[in-house]
Amino acid sequence: MSLLPFLKRKETEDTGVNPDLEAFLQGYSIEVMPRTAEKVEDFRELLPAGTRVYIAHIEGTPIEDMVATAARLAGDGYKVMPHFPARIIKDRAMLADWIARYQGEAGVDQALLLAGGVAEPHGDFHSSMQLMESGLFGDFKRLHVAGHPEGNRDIDKDGSDKNVMEALRWKQKFSETTDAEMALATQFAFEAGPIIAWADALKAAGITIPVHIGIAGPAKLQTLIKFAIACGVGPSLKVLQKRAMDVTKLLLPYEPTEVLTALAAHKAAHPDFNITHVHFFPLGGIKTNANWAIANGGNSAVPASQS
């Protein structure tokens, strides 16, 4: 009989931190926007040195604001990964200009490439694959692309995963030819079972790009339900709806402890599990999310090998 479960329980009792969860949180990333970043006086009081910080580019945000936020975070010692939403980039010249600004003013060498949330493209690009094919990201060290644990109705309107999987197979082939490290950064979900099943299905289909699982940070339940519906979160939305029906929990803030503890336990039991990192969407605020991560052991810098 293994003593490991007993030792883990003992460590949790002694430190108040679940060792599996602590390990799973190491090297986590978090997302900000220029307007939310402005509210943080000093990121160094909240995030571990070397944390990867995505900068979400919402339609209408001036590129100057995006680059200024990137420069600030890079100056504080963080790995900056701005979004490049294909559908709001008019043409190759605009894309080249954005890349030059990020590289020149903030030393950016990582990017999240995605289609973007607008229905109609503003110009020549409509998919992340077109951005990759442009060749303009050739000297970037990391390129992340979107993953959808619960499908994407914008891509597969019939509710299947046919088009999503076809795109992932294309990206898998691209990952085998590029010098950049790649990962799938996913939409957030609230239930571990479907996430694990999805990740295992990817592996079975030959998609070996590492997964950085999207997780909603602590927030008011009403806030999460609003964002979940807006972002098209599917089956796991019932986790929030069930919680909303419990009067004793309705007014309590949601925390991602349950879903992350389950994923961490699965990772500990299956070290080759293809979910390698946690990516936080701080829907209840950056400070609230960062403090939750610190309390649960997520306070280590990103290892140099994963930068």
Per DSSP, the residues of 204-269 read: HTT--S-EEEEEE-SB-HHHHHHHHHHTT--TTHHHHHHHHT-HHHHTSPB-THHHHHHHHHHHHH
CATH of 18-299 among 1.20.1250.20, 1.10.3720.10, 1.20.120.1200, 3.20.20.220: 3.20.20.220
The pLDDT assigned to 254 comes to: 87
The pLDDT assigned to 117 comes to: 76
The pLDDT assigned to 226 comes to: 76
pTM for the whole structure: 0.88
Low-confidence ranges of the chain (pLDDT < 50): 1-8, 10-11, 13-14, 304-305
**Biggest CA-to-CA distance, the chain:** 63
Q: Give the length of the chain.
A: 307
Q: What is the distance between the alpha carbons of residues 106 and 79, in angstroms, rounded to a whole number?
A: 10
pLDDT digits (tens, 9 = 90+) for 211-224: 999 999 999 887 77
The pLDDT assigned to 152 comes to: 56
pLDDT digits (tens, 9 = 90+) for 28-52: 999 999 999 999 999 999 999 999 9
The pLDDT assigned to 154 comes to: 62
The pLDDT assigned to 118 comes to: 84
Q: What is the distance between the alpha carbons of residues 115 and 86, in angstroms, rounded to a whole number?
A: 5
The pLDDT assigned to 291 comes to: 96
Quick one: which H or E segment has residue 186?
Answer: strand 181-188
Q: What is the distance between the alpha carbons of residues 74 and 51, in angstroms, rounded to a whole number?
A: 10
Q: What is the distance between the alpha carbons of residues 177 and 138, in angstroms, rounded to a whole number?
A: 11
Q: What is the distance between the alpha carbons of residues 21 and 261, in angstroms, rounded to a whole number?
A: 6
